[in-house]
Amino acid sequence: MNRHVRHLVLDGERVVVLSPSEFDKLLASRRQLGGQASRVRALRSGLRELVDRLESLEKRLASADPADTRGLASELGACLRHARKMARPGGANRQATAP
């Protein structure tokens, strides 16, 4: 890649001049960044939901009757499966909400 930046004054404004291949690379980089931003948003959403479910589970566990732990353990297992799914490559794009 050319490290020398070419400038041009156009209508009184200084602009950067790119070759067609440099412009194509710039567009490809922008598309990649957009895709990554989408994955980050999906992961953040899934993480927020998971934290909410775990906080709810924590409160229920604190006041739970020992006989009720089977249902709580099942719910905890569902949270863990969801977290593992989100952690896999492409997990955020497959599903952003808990099952």
Average pLDDT over the chain reads: 82
80-91 burial code (b ≥16 CB/10 A, e <16): eebbebbeeeeb
Cα→Cα distances 64→32, 55, 68, 73, 79, Å: 47, 14, 6, 11, 18
pLDDT for res 69 = 75
pLDDT for res 74 = 82
* Interval 42-70: pLDDT, tens: 888 888 888 888 888 888 887 878 777 77
Cα dihedral 36, 42, 47, 53 in deg (nearest 10): -170
In the numeric block, which tokens belong to residue 95? 């599903």
User: For the residues 8-23, what does the mean pLDDT come to?
Assistant: 93
pLDDT band of residue 31 (cuts 50, 70, 90) is very high
Residue ranges per structural domain of the chain: 6-94
